[in-house]
Amino acid sequence: MTDRMAPLNEMLGGRLLRSVSLARYTTARIGGPAEALFIADTRQALFQALLAVWSTNTPYHLIGEGSNLLISDSGFQGLIIVNKTCEIEYHLDGQIPLVIADSGFNLVKLARLLAEHELGGFEWAGGIPGTLGGAVYGNAGAHGAEMASVLESASILHQNGKTESWPCPRFEYGYRTSILKRSTEPEVVLQATLRLERKPEEEIRALMTTFNNRRKATQPPGANLGSIFKNPVGDHAGRLVEAAGLKGFTIGGAAVSEKHANFFINAQNASADDYYHLICHVQTEVLRQFGIALETEIEMIGNFSQENHHGKQN
Ligand SMILES: Cc1cc2nc3c(=O)[nH]c(=O)nc-3n(C[C@H](O)[C@H](O)[C@H](O)COP(=O)(O)OP(=O)(O)OC[C@H]3O[C@@H](n4cnc5c(N)ncnc54)[C@H](O)[C@@H]3O)c2cc1C
């Protein structure tokens, strides 16, 4: 254990893992080592880990399923906190059924569990491989719905150790953004309260199957990060990348999917640099050909090589 991690390790009951590859904590299966990593499997553990990094001024990053993150090959110097909290409470007596779930809940598992309880309104999230906290943070959405349409409130932990309940409007949601995402304050979603509707399980499952079939038909399988770019107003990033002739374009092991041009796949042990340079190349080409600056939807952590990487068209 490096010196600066020793006090943190003690504060966290000796549960820090060292020099862990982050590739297994991201859906693209990419990422170098974390100096230290902590799995927060309860709300209490998450709370303690956050207070520990805040009180010791240790660099850290909180991650959910790493489904929206490109982590550099050099990894992360500091503590990675992986949110695996997954408790759930049902409040079904009122007119509107409410569910309070921990922010580390995987969305796919949560949607299935809600279906078993005959609670609808969350079917759209059943194919998104992130956590509830990541979805509240980034206003995840699909099939015409988004977090903003089901979130009643969320409990937020601040750096002073206080928690606050924020009603949905306080998040100032926009397309894949929220006040949390735009803020420089380290605010963390601990739990979210979802406003649902009573619905027969078969109806919920049928809708989830339709959505998942649509996903399978239009999106590539395998290791990836979902949509790389936000859709520019009035257009689709995938359409622009395809129109730029970049479907199948590869740099190293990273490739623009042949199935959906806004998905880049880790085709052959891609490095984070391969991915990064593919993103830069696509942005440059789309800007050159159509005058549109594509903005990334994914977030990048760490340093990426600025050297030129040459790609090729399949
Ligand atoms: C195959 C595939 C399909 C996808 N489809 C969709 C889709 O249809 N719609 C869509 O919107 N997205 C989609 N995504 C992207 C991704 O799943 C979402 O952005 C998801 O909400 C990210 O959640 P996460 O837990 O993985 O967050 P991570 O990627 O781990 O983290 C992303 C950011 O959220 C922050 N964060 C995570 N948890 C918390 C918390 N509890 N409190 C505060 N901040 C937090 C992190 O610090 C980080 O800055 C897809 C991704 C993949 C790989």
Please report whether residue 61 resides in a domain: yes
Q: Is the CB of 130 under 6 A from ligand 1?
A: yes
Q: Under a CB-based contact definition with an 8 Å cutoff, are residues 69 and 225 in contact?
A: yes
Residues in the chain: 314
Same-domain status, 109 and 188: yes
**CA 225 to centroid of ligand 1, rounded, Å:** 9
200-217 confidence digits (pLDDT tens): 999 999 999 999 999 999
Same-domain status, 202 and 134: yes
Phi/psi for 88 (5° steps) reads -145, 140
| Predicted confidence band of residue 313 (pLDDT cuts 50, 70, 90) | confident
Instruction: Give me the pLDDT at residue 99, please.
Output: 98
Q: Which amino acid does the sequence have at 206?
A: A
Instruction: Give me the pLDDT at residue 210, please.
Output: 98
Please report whether residue 141 resides in a domain: yes
CATH number of the domain that 112 lies in?
3.30.465.10
Residue of 176, 178, 257, 271 marked active site: 176
Rounded to whole angstroms, how far apart are CA atoms 247 and 278? 12
Instruction: Give me the pLDDT at residue 82, please.
Output: 98
Q: Where does a domain end: 216, 246, 270?
A: 216
Please report whether residue 306 resides in a domain: no
Instruction: Give me the pLDDT at residue 163, please.
Output: 97
| Predicted confidence band of residue 243 (pLDDT cuts 50, 70, 90) | very high
Rounded to whole angstroms, how far apart are CA atoms 237 and 289? 13
Instruction: Give me the pLDDT at residue 306, please.
Output: 79
165-195 confidence digits (pLDDT tens): 999 999 999 999 999 999 999 999 999 999 9
Residue 141 tokens, joined: 């959405």
- Is-catalytic flag, 297? yes
- Is-catalytic flag, 239? no
Q: What percent of the chain has pLDDT over 90?
A: 95
Instruction: Give me the pLDDT at residue 312, please.
Output: 78
Spatial CA neighbour of 253 closest among 287, 288, 277? 277
Please tell me the residue having the least CA distance from ligand 1 atom 2: 226
Q: Where does a domain end: 216, 246, 279?
A: 216
Mean pLDDT of the chain: 96
Phi/psi for 249 (5° steps) reads -65, 135
Phi/psi for 133 (5° steps) reads -65, -45
Residue 234 tokens, joined: 């009035």
Using DSSP, state whether 297 is helix, strand or coil: coil
Entry pTM: 0.96
Closest-lying ligand 1 atom to the alpha carbon of residue 141: 11
From 41, 43, 68, 107, give the residue whose CB has the most ligand 1 atoms within 8 Å, as the site to mutate: 68
Structural domain boundaries, residue 58: 3-83
| Predicted confidence band of residue 310 (pLDDT cuts 50, 70, 90) | confident
Please tell me the residue having the least CA distance from ligand 1 atom 20: 130
Q: Is the CB of 69 under 6 A from ligand 1?
A: yes
Q: Where does a domain end: 196, 216, 236?
A: 216
Closest-lying ligand 1 atom to the alpha carbon of residue 140: 11
Rounded to whole angstroms, how far apart are CA atoms 146 and 138? 10
Question: For the chain, how many structural domains are there in total?
Answer: 3
Instruction: Give me the pLDDT at residue 204, please.
Output: 98
Please report whether residue 40 resides in a domain: yes
269-284 confidence digits (pLDDT tens): 999 999 999 999 999 9
- Answer whether residue 5 shows pLDDT above 90: yes
Instruction: Give me the pLDDT at residue 291, please.
Output: 98
Instruction: Give me the pLDDT at residue 257, please.
Output: 97
Same-domain status, 260 and 145: no
90-140 confidence digits (pLDDT tens): 999 999 999 999 999 999 999 999 999 999 999 999 999 999 999 999 999
Instruction: Give me the pLDDT at residue 4, please.
Output: 87
Residue of 35, 123, 146, 297 marked active site: 297
The residue ranges of DSSP E strands in 92-219, in sequence order, are 98-102, 119-120, 141-142, 145-146, 151-157, 163-167, 188-195, 197-198
Q: Is the CB of 226 under 6 A from ligand 1?
A: yes
Same-domain status, 167 and 286: no
From 41, 85, 137, 181, give the residue whose CB has the most ligand 1 atoms within 8 Å, as the site to mutate: 137
Please report whether residue 101 resides in a domain: yes
Instruction: Give me the pLDDT at residue 236, please.
Output: 97
Same-domain status, 122 and 175: yes
Same-domain status, 51 and 108: no
Same-domain status, 195 and 164: yes
From 27, 39, 42, 63, give the residue whose CB has the most ligand 1 atoms within 8 Å, as the site to mutate: 63
**CA 7 to centroid of ligand 1, rounded, Å:** 30
Residue of 67, 72, 153, 227 marked active site: 227
Same-domain status, 95 and 67: no
- Is-catalytic flag, 227? yes
- Answer whether residue 307 shows pLDDT above 90: no
